[in-house]
Structure 1
């Protein structure tokens, strides 16, 4: 019954997203960001997911702009982060094809990368630099490139770190850890052959999911891209293992 009830609420919530997408076509970007933020908050409430923040939270919530660097576990990561603060994501081009969520991503100003096309990387870095120059909003990247099982942090790819150097932005490490009954869990992981519906079903069957989001100390882009990526990957992995 719990799953059925959540499914009904989720269906209505997705319908609301369609209405928002239509309305946001004519709305200013800052207003659209606030509307999507409230939509994301409501999504987490429907799924009964509790958020716990730790670390240097004010660094993330203030008006400064960063290149936010996060581990990646689930499709939930994006609404989780967006529920706290409107932010621009660099996402794979596949997300554009997702029903409704893809529309929200495009309207929110997401920057899409096609990992099957080498020239896409340069275009994405240029788009990131343009965003930093013209918008007072942070950008979030998931340098693992794929989602993990939630128990570990995969090696970071350093290519997108280039934007921090070119736009002269601090990097802000952010770690995401999902727990169930106070124990780290892979219930929310969205990797392998798992479909979006299968993932939703697994998540909706629990009322005990807590996500611990830890914000680290801002890092200056003074090292090489590779050294930076290793440094941040290790820092985030340490938070996950605790």
Structure 2
């Protein structure tokens, strides 16, 4: 039954993508505003098919807007992309990935070669043009995906793109936290979160199949207090403020999900005495990688 569900989801998504692809390609080339709305519509369809349930806390600020968010999984793209029309800032190699690269280009992603410092300025200018033109852009300042249990410090270099855009006007930088809090209605704990995250050398197809088969993933998107950014703003200070805000919202979302108690455990083994406690990986996922961080679609 789970295999049939996965096949159905893939078939519907593929058919819908092929249907919308010519329209989106033309919209991108002609720079129509429709180019921002079609991906949002696609992500909302994907969200329902995959089984994502998204709760929104707070309110998105108005454009010109640069969002700084934590990064856990490829799921983040669908979670955030289903909330409002937006585009992402990603490392250059993503555009060469099968399937994901094509979808990223159709989402009007700005690709950055982080191995070449000389490209930072041109990347900042590209981001600035998009933000200044009214597009909502999402930056993952950690520079990588994590296991869902911790958030790495935010890098400030690309947040400086906001300063470039503010040569024309003051813009807004808004911290946003993405937190996966449940699966099949059951709160997830520290041992469970790496099963939802996509990091290390996890295979995308296997990860996608496992999540679709389990289904009903609950996510919380928390919008923090907007920060006004202009040419005089200290980007490093803004990066630290966003980092602390995202950490705080992430912890609040986790506490809120666990207040009712974990009445059942989808993945986690029963707690053992401290001296005997061990970590058992989730069925169908690689184990022993809870603290490993590796570059993914960021």
TM-score scaled to structure 2, two decimals?
Answer: 0.74
Post-superposition shift, 1:100? 3.2
For structure 1, the residue ranges without an aligned partner over 5 or more in a row are none
Report the Cα distance in structure 1 between the residues aligned to 2:11 and 2:93, rounded to whole angstroms: 22
Post-superposition shift, 1:161? 1.1
Aligned partner of 2:157 in structure 1 is 159
Aligned partner of 2:21 in structure 1 is 21
Structure showing greater relative contact order (alpha-carbon pairs closer than 8 Å, 6 or more residues apart): 1
Report the Cα distance in structure 2 between the residues aligned to 1:197 and 1:24, rounded to whole angstroms: 25
Report the Cα distance in structure 1 between the residues aligned to 2:105 and 2:162, rounded to whole angstroms: 23
Task: Tell me whether 7-16 or 115-124 shows the greater mean CA deviation.
Answer: 7-16
Aligned partner of 1:179 in structure 2 is 181
Report the Cα distance in structure 2 between the residues aligned to 1:190 and 1:101, rounded to whole angstroms: 14
TM-score scaled to structure 1, two decimals?
Answer: 0.90
Supply the RMSD in Å over aligned alpha carbons.
1.8
Instruction: Give the length in aligned residue pairs.
Output: 237
The question of whether the paired residues in 2 share the 8 Å contact of 1:178 and 1:186 is answered with no
Aligned partner of 1:139 in structure 2 is 137
Task: Tell me whether 64-73 or 141-150 shows the greater mean CA deviation.
Answer: 64-73
SS of the residue 1:52 aligns to: strand
Report the Cα distance in structure 1 between the residues aligned to 2:118 and 2:3, rounded to whole angstroms: 43
Post-superposition shift, 1:224? 2.1
Task: Tell me whether 16-25 or 194-203 shows the greater mean CA deviation.
Answer: 16-25
Report the Cα distance in structure 1 between the residues aligned to 2:9 and 2:207, rounded to whole angstroms: 16
Report the Cα distance in structure 2 between the residues aligned to 1:34 and 1:138, rounded to whole angstroms: 12
Aligned partner of 1:47 in structure 2 is 50
Report the Cα distance in structure 2 between the residues aligned to 1:216 and 1:208, rounded to whole angstroms: 26
SS of the residue 1:149 aligns to: coil
Higher helix proportion (structure 1 or 2): 1
The question of whether the paired residues in 1 share the 8 Å contact of 2:5 and 2:212 is answered with no
Report the Cα distance in structure 2 between the residues aligned to 1:38 and 1:45, rounded to whole angstroms: 11
CA distances 1:15-52 after superposition (whole Å, capped 9, x unpaired): 32133223322235322322221111111111111100
Alignment of 1:101-116 (within 5 A): 101-116=100-115
The question of whether the paired residues in 1 share the 8 Å contact of 2:39 and 2:106 is answered with no
CA distances 1:30-77 after superposition (whole Å, capped 9, x unpaired): 22322221111111111111100112x2x34xx432111100001111
Report the Cα distance in structure 1 between the residues aligned to 2:103 and 2:209, rounded to whole angstroms: 21
Pick from 198, 210, 219 the counterpart of residue 206 of structure 2.
Answer: 198
Report the Cα distance in structure 1 between the residues aligned to 2:15 and 2:176, rounded to whole angstroms: 31
SS of the residue 1:89 aligns to: strand
CA distances 1:91-122 after superposition (whole Å, capped 9, x unpaired): 11122123333223223321101122222211
Alignment of 1:224-235 (within 5 A): 224-235=234-245
Q: Max radius of gyration: which structure?
A: 2
